[in-house]
Structure 1
Amino acid sequence: MNDKTDRLLATLKLQPVVPVLVIDDARAAVPLARALVAGGLKAIEITLRTPAALEAIRLVAQEVEGAVTGAGTILNARNYDEAVDAGAQFIVSPGTTQELLDAARSSSVPLLPGAATSSEVMALREEGYDVLKFFPAEQAGGAAYLKALSSPLAGTLFCPTGGVSPENARTYLSLPNVVCVGGSWVAPKAMVEAGDWDGITRLASEAMLLAQ
């Protein structure tokens, strides 16, 4: 577990914001990923919420130099295996089941499991996980909730996702138990559909400044 945790942490520490992408057309995946990487956002989460997702992961993994391709919205072992086969280098789930934990245990690709309560965090710690996704962040209590967890659950790091925006990202990132945040604002649907790759690179560059 330690090697996988180290690799996952190294990925999450590449940038303050991990783009959370919903890709409807796989043909947009490569120019979108290149635009994000050009702006400094190398770790990219492509969610399995559309029929195009696995092909998008495959294309980005094969064709975009510098990208660290992740797969999100992984709900079961079949999703896990399909994403890894497509080339995903890290896996993200909105919650956690025993089936997912078993799939992660048998895979060399690390899992960022989702948790929303202190009990879920404690259960995952018992399974050896101390780097977690906090989801849905704003709806589950936001930065104040995570701050409250920092002392009793010291040593656990989080990537809050869900309702995170340019307006509240700095608040999350200022917390000692937050390693990065996940956000969709760096790749707005309208910009993707318009092919405004320069605009997305600009948003990615602005997101990188949140680390300062």
Structure 2
Amino acid sequence: MSGKTDALLSTLRLQPVVPVIVIDDAKSAVPLARALVAGGLKAIEITLRTPAALDAIKAVADEVEGAVAGAGTVLDAKQWDLAVKAGSKFIVSPGAGPAVLDAADQSDIPLLPGTATATEIMTVRDRGYSVIKFFPAEQAGGAPYLNALSSPLNGILFCPTGGISLKNARDYLSLPNVVCVGGSWVAPKAMVEAGDWAGITRLAAEASGLRS
């Protein structure tokens, strides 16, 4: 597990914000990813919420220099296998069900498992995880909740996702147990549909400077 943890941390530490992207049209994946990379956001989570997601991951993995494509909203072993075959370098799940954890055990690709409670965090900790997604962050207690966990669950690092924006990202990033945050605000649907890649690069650059 230590090797996969190191690989995951090296990806998450590329930037303070990991874009969480929903792709409706696979043709937009490459220019979108290039815009994000140009703004300093290299690790990109493409969620498996649309039929275009797997094609989008493959396109980004194959064609976008500097991008580290990951798959989000992975719920089971079948989705895991499809995401890895498409070129995903990391996998993100909203929760930590046994099907996903078992698939991760059989794979060289690192998993960022989702948790929302101390019990869930302890459960994945017992499976060898020390880098964990906190989701849905704002609805589950926000930065104050994560801060409260920093002492009793010392040694666990989090990537909070859900309800995070430019306005509250620093609240999370200032915590000692937060390695990065996940956010969708860097690629708004309207800007993607309009092909406003320069605008998305500006948002990405703003996000990448949150820890500077």
Shorter-chain-normalised TM-score: which range?
over 0.9
Please state how far the C-alpha of 1:98 moved relative to its aligned partner.
1.0
CA distance in 2, matches of 1:206, 1:116: 28
Look up the equivalent residue of 1:82 and give its one-letter code. Answer: L
Could you list the per-position Cα deviations for residues 132-175 of structure 1 after superposition, in whole angstroms to 9, with x for gaps in the alignment? Answer: 00000000000000000000000000000000000000000000
* Counterparts of residues 107-146 of structure 1 (less than 5 Å): 107-146=107-146
Indicate whether 1:4 and 2:37 are aligned. Answer: no
Indicate whether 1:158 and 2:170 are aligned. Answer: no
Please state how far the C-alpha of 1:7 moved relative to its aligned partner.
0.3
Match of 1:46 in 2: 46
CA distance in 1, matches of 2:106, 2:145: 32
In structure 1, stretches of 5+ residues that fail to align are none
Instruction: Please give the TM-score of this superposition, normalised by the length of structure 2.
Output: 1.00
Match of 1:209 in 2: 209
Match of 2:199 in 1: 199
In structure 2, stretches of 5+ residues that fail to align are none
Match of 1:181 in 2: 181
Match of 1:25 in 2: 25
CA distance in 2, matches of 1:33, 1:145: 32
CA distance in 2, matches of 1:55, 1:131: 28
SS of the equivalent of 1:75 reads coil
CA distance in 1, matches of 2:137, 2:102: 25
Runs of 4 or more consecutive aligned structure 1 residues displaced over 3 Å after TM superposition: none
Q: Alignment RMSD, CA only?
A: 0.4
Match of 1:73 in 2: 73
Aligned length: 212
CA distance in 2, matches of 1:176, 1:27: 39
CA distance in 1, matches of 2:67, 2:9: 16
Look up the equivalent residue of 1:86 and give its one-letter code. Answer: A
Look up the equivalent residue of 1:65 and give its one-letter code. Answer: E
Instruction: Please give the TM-score of this superposition, normalised by the length of structure 1.
Output: 1.00
Please state how far the C-alpha of 1:209 moved relative to its aligned partner.
1.0
Please state how far the C-alpha of 1:99 moved relative to its aligned partner.
1.0
* Counterparts of residues 85-100 of structure 1 (less than 5 Å): 85-100=85-100
CA distance in 2, matches of 1:209, 1:101: 33
CA distance in 2, matches of 1:99, 1:184: 26
Match of 1:57 in 2: 57
